[in-house]
Structure 1
């Protein structure tokens, strides 16, 4: 029955003269999403509407699931599109539509007609009343309810005529690539994939950095992060994953710095390296999955010490969330089951039994001087030997 999808957007509609840039970005993301499904589609803009029109047979559920991953979409409406051959022809198509879409006719309904083409010979109210009468004549068991109908039958009079009654919620947000680019510090945990998803939802293109510590972390731990990046890319588009060998830096910190400060000092060097990689990729900020008070490195004092090494803004989308709220999002986007696989990452090794929770920045800097003879070369090597993996 359906050969096209009317795609509704939200915030884009209130943009000014540059609105077309956001619309074009959304069209590109829709095309990219539909390339992954069976069937061919033409995606087009028309007077504030975006349509995905099938050129071949397709799997309805597969297409809907693909569109539900595209940020910027607030509604997905499968539509019947017809040419304007007069009201009687329209009424015939509406009756056929209801007969196929609602086999059980014991439902309440309301007709909501809108005319973008004002030269149509009937106004919206006349269409509503006349079409409602035709429907009742065809299906006497149906009842009109203008306040809370079970079926809201929408008719749009445009260049062609759209008939639809279903609107599937989209993810909202803004199209990927409309808000710059950021570097995500991606671990194998629950929080950072969610942080990446959330910042991508605001239109940010994501690159990611993962700190690997062989032989202390396994290849399975690395593959877990690659898998997480791939799951996030379902929403965020292709992601370049930078795999940094962090072993030598960790060993140097372990040998030369107080053990209760290991986590903070390691985090500071992770941020430095991620920022350098971000600069190379023209990123405008770092993104982490930190949440206040969740672990020792995420107290206000610890975050203050971590932030101090960065010149880029650091975005923490989940900073005010409870753990369960983060888990709920991870389950929704499909990353949770991968995140809980029991492979250690570099943040879970070389950890003190009693890490400092209220670090003093001046003392941390003083102890970092113990690394002065080796750290520049170690950081240079880590950056130069970074492995880049593109996932999509």
Structure 2
């Protein structure tokens, strides 16, 4: 049984010896925050120099968390072996690996740090010899089992697989930024890209509709910060933009409304950024994806503010952005958020001229009034009002808890099945047509992602949050 996790960082290793310790402290802070928030208890972190090792009992659950932490390049579930001699080490490796390579091809790779009376090639050869008899043979190019050994002084870490992490830099290694957040497909991906670069990302949402839209956006925000923003506590600024939109529709020509809306959003973001000391605004804009995102439109809009703009998705195709959103787990929930910011009814300006700014009021008073009523939430925003869930009466409903095993034990729900999210992909064939599945996760984002996939297979499924489940269904079960 594996008893630890090997963590590898990427870019931090390129830093100088003088600056690297500061980055490693941020790295450790993010790791501790991620594990603690996900109820991983009694863990220990050790810095081996170029590698970190996390010791804990819940290795599998911890890996699912750590692979989402910015700064971690890859993770491996490992078995630590203490040894005093090469002979003893080979004996222990055989005891661990012999059953794994039985009737399978295998290959041995060794990495070594420290002073030993053997070299890496010799150890790999000798380990291969003792495992060969039980195996189907050696295959160094495409083995069924990879026997990986990292030898560091008198410790050896044995592992068979490596899981790719987020990469990038840990939170706090770059400046604090404010993301213009709509909850749609693009802005969560843009926020994630900046989190990867070590920015502490906070969020600004201009609510131009009401509670339903706020709840939908909040679900995506809660999911994103809970699963990817570690090492700090993000903030969400919510601005009521309904009155501004009324004025905008009244006072701005139809062809310029999309441009005007973006200018207003930028100006609100700039005021908040200056007040709360943000280095830059972040947007999910992609070049030429929309009329307000042509190069001339972007330049025109940005010229109306003085703050720096970051557009991490500028050169991304929509397909690329969608793939990342799918991988993050935000896609299905983001697709449900309608584009209420589409304010024009006819043709729109894609190449605004300098003189067009005279046709757009400053909305200074409206923006000033709106800013005074801003709502600021630190961390997860509670969804206070949830709609009553409409469930089918004629079919059998199968409730499935997709949360991690640790959270299932900490906060139990009365469901028919308990299948952690990271295992559900291997069990799609267990979901049957003719039944109606109610999938539950913490915020309703991952559950809707799985429900969406099941629906494409002709299986009826709905994804909801644990809060919605408790309110609407748990008492009825």
Same fold? TM cut 0.5: yes
CA distance in 2 between counterparts of 1:253 and 1:112 reads 64
Q: Determine the C-alpha separation between the residues in 2 that align with 1:38 and 1:227.
A: 23
Supply the distance in 2 between the matched residues of 1:210 and 1:231 (Cα, whole angstroms).
15
CA shift in 2, pair 1:337/1:355, >3 Å:
same
Which residue is equivalent to 1:116? 113
- 2:272 alignment counterpart: 277
User: Equivalent residue of 2:124, what SS?
Assistant: helix
User: TM-score w.r.t. structure 2 length?
Assistant: 0.74
Structure 2 distance, partners of 1:230, 1:310, is 29
Determine if contact 1:191/1:289 at 8 Å carries over to the other structure. Answer: yes
1:110 partner SS: strand
CA distance, structure 1, for counterparts of residue 317 and residue 151 of structure 2 = 47
Q: Residues of 2 paired with 1:324 and 1:123: CA distance?
A: 48
The 2-side partners of 1:47 and 1:239 are apart by: 30
SS at match of 2:103: coil
CA positional deviation for 1:192: 0.9
Is the Cα contact below 8 Å between 1:262 and 1:352 reproduced in 2? no
Matches within 5 A, 1:216-231: 217-231=209-223
1:240-264, CA deviations, whole angstroms, 9 ceiling, x for partnerless residues? 1110112222222222222221121
The structural deviation recorded for 1:123 is 2.3
For structure 1, which segment, 258-267 or 178-187, has the greater mean C-alpha deviation from structure 2 after superposition?
A: 258-267
Match of 2:54 among 46, 52, 55: 52
1:323-334 alignment, distance < 5 Å: 323-334=318-329
**What residue is the counterpart of 2:376 in the other structure?**
388
TM-score with structure 1 length normalisation? 0.89
Q: Which residue of 1 aligns with 2:83?
A: 84
Q: 1:129 to 1:232 in 2, by over 3 A?
A: same
> SS of the counterpart of 2:204?
strand
What is the alpha-carbon distance in structure 1 between the residues aligned to residue 283 and residue 354 of structure 2?
Answer: 20
Q: Tell me if the contact between 1:37 and 1:62 (Cα under 8 Å) persists in the aligned partners.
A: no
Q: Is the 8 A contact 1:84 1:90 kept in 2?
A: yes
1:215-267 residue CA offsets vs partner (Å, 9 max, x unmatched): xx120101111111122212123321110112222222222222221121121
Change (3 A) 1:376 1:24: same
Q: Is the 8 A contact 2:107 2:128 kept in 1?
A: yes
Distance 1:70 1:206 in 2: 14
- Cα offsets for 1:183-224 (capped at 9, x unmatched): 1000132111111111211111101111012xxx12010111
User: Which residue in the other structure is 2:138 paired with?
Assistant: 144
Unaligned runs of 5+ in 1: none
Query: For each residue in 1:95-119, what CA deviation from the matched residue of structure 2 results, as whole angstroms up to 9, or x when unmatched?
Result: 122135x2x622232322333121x
Q: Which residue of 2 aligns with 1:358?
A: 351
- Answer whether contact 2:183 2:221 (CA < 8 A) is retained: no
8 A Cα contact 1:188 1:221, kept in partner: no
What is the deviation of 1:80?
0.9
What do the CA deviations read for 1:53-99 (whole angstroms, capped 9, x no partner)? 11xx32x4422211111111121111111222323331222112213
Q: CA deviation at 1:301?
A: 1.7
Q: 1:161 aligns with which of 146, 152, 156?
A: 156
* 1:1-392 mapped onto 2 (5 Å cutoff): 1-16=1-16, 17-35=18-36, 36-54=38-56, 57-58=57-58, 60-100=59-99, 102=100, 105-118=102-115, 120-137=116-133, 139=134, 141-159=135-153, 160-213=155-208, 217-233=209-225, 234-237=227-230, 238-343=233-338, 345=340, 347-348=341-342, 350-364=343-357, 366-368=358-360, 370-371=361-362, 375-392=363-380
User: Which structure has more RCO (C-alpha within 8 Å, separation ≥ 6)?
Assistant: 1
Contact 1:109 1:145 in 2 (8 A): yes
Q: How big is the shift at 1:49?
A: 1.3
User: Cα RMSD over matched residues?
Assistant: 1.9
Aligned length: 374
Q: Deviations over 1:339-392 (max 9, x none)?
A: 1115554x13x433222222113222x123x45xxx333222211211012234
SS of equivalent residue, structure 2 residue 260: helix
- Does the aligned pair in 1 maintain the 2:94–2:127 contact within 8 Å? no
Unaligned runs of 5+ in 2: 381-477
Q: Deviations over 1:269-291 (max 9, x none)?
A: 11011011112222111111111
**Take 1:148 and 1:363, find their aligned partners in 2: how far apart are those partners?**
62
In structure 2, C-alpha distance between the alignment counterparts of 1:295 and 1:113, rounded to whole Å: 51
